[in-house]
Amino acid sequence: MFTDDAGKGGIAAGGPGNSENSARRTGGDLVQLITPAGERISHPEFDPWLQDVSDEQLCSLYEDMVVIRRIDAEATALQRQGELALWPPLLGQEAAQIGSARTLREDDFVFPSYRDNGVAYCRGVKPEDLVRAWRGNASAGWNPFTVNVATQQIIIGSQSLHATGYAMGIQNDGADCVAVAYFGDGATSEGDVNEAMVFAASFQAPVVFICQNNHWAISEPVRLQSHIHLADRASGFGIPSMRVDGNDVLAVMAATRIALDRARHGGGPTFIEAVTYRMGPHTTADDPTRYRDANELEDWAAKDPISRMKSLLDRKGLLTADLEAAVAAKADAVAKELRAGTINMPEPQPLDIFKHVYSTPNSWLDRQQDHYSRYLASFGDPAEAASEEGAR
Amino acid sequence: MTQMTFARAINSGLRKSLENDPKVILMGEDIGALGGVFRVTDGLQKDFGKHRVVDTPLAESGIMGTAVGLAYRGYRPVVEIQFDGFIYPAFDQIVSQVAKTHYRTQGAVKMPITVRVPFGGGIGSPEHHSESPEAYFTHTSGLRVVSPSSPQDAYTMIQQAISCDDPVLYFEPKRRYHDKGDVDETLDPGSALPLEKARVITDGRDVTLVAYGPLVKTARDAAIAAADEGISIEVIDLRSLAPVDYAAVEASVRKTGRLVITHEAGQSGGLGAEVAASITERCFYYLEAAPVRVTGFDVPYPYSKLEMHHLPSLDRILDGVDRALGRPNSLSGLEG
């Protein structure tokens, strides 16, 4: 079940429903609909795509952003407490992920990177599944087909091609769903992302490229990846693009709707650059104080996506004590579920190592599994033997 | 039975697969109107349409990565890599995605992708057009690697590869594309010899000679020549390079006590080393002599006027057979 379609008022629908209403923009000025102070700015091109967003939906967008930030904090704490081996925080990127993911239809298919936990959460991935791979209990957290989200990609930019291929399949099927690739600013330097844009443009595949420009690829600043705005690269491929404030949930939402609508109606791919900032480290193993200025962090803290949404709600008289209490309670409950799910996660068994390498029997691997079973059995207790081996 | 070339037999097998399964989709460079640089896909785009036989942009990683996405969507992509030496840009997608997605997703996402690669030398080509990169892929878990050696196997094995739920690298011996042979197009791939099984090509008593792909013909010719000298060679066509059908090789070596392996790829870290080690482990006490490898050298594929020195020839194979038999050979008197 998808959270957006189910309980949150069908944000996936909406918009003028006519891709012709939107010019095929290429890059251009940064689109912002909510200022850092929470003021709603009107925009003739983007506003029509938000007319159906009700007060209730604004509150639920706020809730999702708060909840995913809480999941992020809880997972970081779990890592510090030794319950996770590693965690890639999304702190600061909540609007870019929630704003885009909440616009998707159930039959759209997402190809995310390892940092896109907010996207996965919106699609119905369970909290403990978000950390399963980071605990070392599996290589990935979930079955892609139950939530229409591929497993989170670690090879930078690789998934952009998978999304494009999936979109070519959609085209062949005559369906009107869309494939969505999420990647970061660093990925735009990878050959795969550039090849994905070539294929998407040539076949006019129904794919949306959502680039979260969080300004840092581990220690490398975005200026090392590109001399021009990332959105401006798309025009070289003949792909329309938009450059939006990625800390503004409504701007991201409108841009994604424009792109999805174009893809559904045969208009081909779109590239969205959501300009945001990675407030935390690359992962819990990283130390950003070695490479970036504290002032920069302060500047971006003032543009925080959740505080500006909170200010917007306040200006609209929606930020009631009841809402705040309900959102806090939800965040607490999800964090609790994440912690319990993590700690109680069943341990994998030694011979699971051989499972699913192939879907058909394989004589090489079957022999190795047989030999390792015998080895483990020679200790009496296989689990004990394996843990002793691992400790050496 | 129909007489046809090796290339035509693959074409016929591809046609069968396209007819039998609407999810089969061919992708590659120049495979449409041109029919591929070797004409293996000749006429298929005309008959099945541009959406089933897709000419792609010139980007091998792009082809492989979009094939992964199509597999996610339920398709069975058959990718043509134009030449062996052009596969490397796709290496990351093959190794990190095609090979590992089934494992990563605990069996939820299958990658039934077939990668067709014309490989090997002997056609007088410039650099990058004659390589034998199979060991990179046999070393990669999650992949199956096969190489047919006859038109009949080419016809059957391409269909078996396409219907296999695991990714298969299908190495086509390009210097045999124009060789003709009988093909039974009524043979059901499901009841034919399974994809992972080796085949004994000629029975013999004195030495086991293991070959695959382009060198199976050379090995068979060597066996015929040796028979004139009273030496009985058992030739095994591996067909499957990952996994190797060790049971078949072992059964033969238990009988002959001697093993020669030949391939065009360089020797170090090659498939011959793996076969020699595995057979030594499995039936050491049946071996009368150390296994012998007759392979290409550890050099970049040489310029074409020298390639016949690089490629194992009938005489070099027989020299290796002599060594395995303890008869006078080019290395007689050398230790180690």
Q: A55 vs A59, A127, A387, B51, CA distance in Å? A: 6, 27, 54, 45
Q: Is A191 on the interface with B (CB under 8 A)?
A: yes
Chain A residues with beta carbon closer than 8 angstroms to that of B102: 356-359
Retrieve residue B211's tokens. Answer: 């070959």
Question: Across the interface, which of B75, B102, B243 has its CB nearest the CB of A363?
Answer: B243
Exposure string over A258-268, b if 16+ CB within 10 A, otherwise e: bbbbbbbeebb
Kindly identify which residue of chain B lies nearest to residue A194, measuring between CA atoms. Answer: B62
Q: For chains A and B, what is the number of CB pairs under 8 angstroms?
A: 143
Exposure string over B244-253, b if 16+ CB within 10 A, otherwise e: bbbebbbbbb
Rounded CA separation B53/B75 (Å): 13
How is residue B228 annotated by DSSP?
Answer: H
Give me the residue label for tokens 């020699």: B276
What is the percent of chain A where pLDDT is above 70?
A: 90
The alpha-carbon radius of gyration of chain A (Å, integer) is 22
CB contact under 8 A, A365 and B96: no
- Residue A87: how many other CB atoms lie within 10 Å: 26
pLDDT digits (tens, 9 = 90+) for B231-286: 999 999 999 999 999 999 999 999 999 999 999 999 999 999 999 999 999 999 99
Is the distance from CB of A171 to CB of A141 less than 8 angstroms? no
Is the distance from CB of B252 to CB of B222 less than 8 angstroms? no
Distance of CA B130 to the CA centre of its chain: 14
Is the distance from CB of A245 to CB of A251 less than 8 angstroms? yes
Kindly identify which residue of chain A lies nearest to residue B90, measuring between CA atoms. Answer: A192
Kindly identify which residue of chain B lies nearest to residue A154, measuring between CA atoms. Answer: B96
Which of A346-360, A372-386, B6-20, B57-71 is predicted with the least confidence, judged by mean pLDDT?
A372-386
- Residue B283: how many other CB atoms lie within 10 Å: 18
Would you mind telling me the total number of residues written for chain B in this entry?
A: 336
Q: Is A300 on the interface with B (CB under 8 A)?
A: no
Contacts of A381 (CB under 8 A, 6+ apart): none
DSSP result, A123-181: TT--HHHHHHHHHTS-SSSS-HHHHTBPPPB-STTHHHHHHHHHHHHHHHHT----EEE
Residue B213 exposed, middle or buried by CB count within 10 Å (0-12, 13-18, 19+): buried
Is the distance from CB of B19 to CB of B49 less than 8 angstroms? no
Rounded CA separation B105/B142 (Å): 13
Best to test chain B binding among A178, A199, A370 (most B CBs inside 10 Å): A199
Question: Across the interface, which of B25, B72, B242 has its CB nearest the CB of A162?
Answer: B72
Rounded CA separation B217/B329 (Å): 23
Give the count of alpha carbons within 13 A of B57, CB side only: 19
Q: Is the pLDDT of residue A170 over 80?
A: yes
Retrieve residue B320's tokens. Answer: 């290796």
The alpha-carbon radius of gyration of chain B (Å, integer) is 20
CB contact under 8 A, A362 and B245: no
Smallest CA–CA separation between B122 and chain A, in Å? 32
Q: Is A387 on the interface with B (CB under 8 A)?
A: no
Chain B residues with beta carbon closer than 8 angstroms to that of A359: 102, 107, 110, 165-166
Chain A residues with beta carbon closer than 8 angstroms to that of B166: 358-360
Q: A283 vs A89, A229, B126, CA distance in Å? A: 6, 25, 47
- Residue A198: how many other CB atoms lie within 10 Å: 18
Rounded CA separation B324/B232 (Å): 13
Interface pTM (ipTM) of the complex? Answer: 0.96
For residue A246, give the nearest of A208, A193, A303, A301 by alpha carbon: A303
Chain A residues with beta carbon closer than 8 angstroms to that of B51: 171-172
Catalytic-role residue among B102, B129, B263, B310: B129
Is the distance from CB of B36 to CB of B58 less than 8 angstroms? no
Chain A residues with beta carbon closer than 8 angstroms to that of B198: none
How is residue B113 annotated by DSSP?
Answer: -
How would you write the pLDDT of chain B (336 residues) with one tens digit per residue? 999 999 999 999 999 999 999 999 999 999 999 999 999 999 999 999 999 999 999 999 999 999 999 999 999 999 999 999 999 999 999 999 999 999 999 999 999 999 999 999 999 999 999 999 999 999 999 999 999 999 999 999 999 999 999 999 999 999 999 999 999 999 999 999 999 999 999 999 999 999 999 999 999 999 999 999 999 999 999 999 999 999 999 999 999 999 999 999 999 999 999 999 999 999 999 999 999 999 999 999 999 999 999 999 999 999 999 999 999 999 999 876
CB contact under 8 A, A145 and B108: yes
For residue B234, give the nearest of B270, A363, B216 by alpha carbon: B216
Rounded CA separation A247/A308 (Å): 8
Q: Is A195 on the interface with B (CB under 8 A)?
A: yes
pLDDT digits (tens, 9 = 90+) for A247-304: 999 999 999 999 999 999 999 999 999 999 999 999 999 999 999 999 999 999 999 9
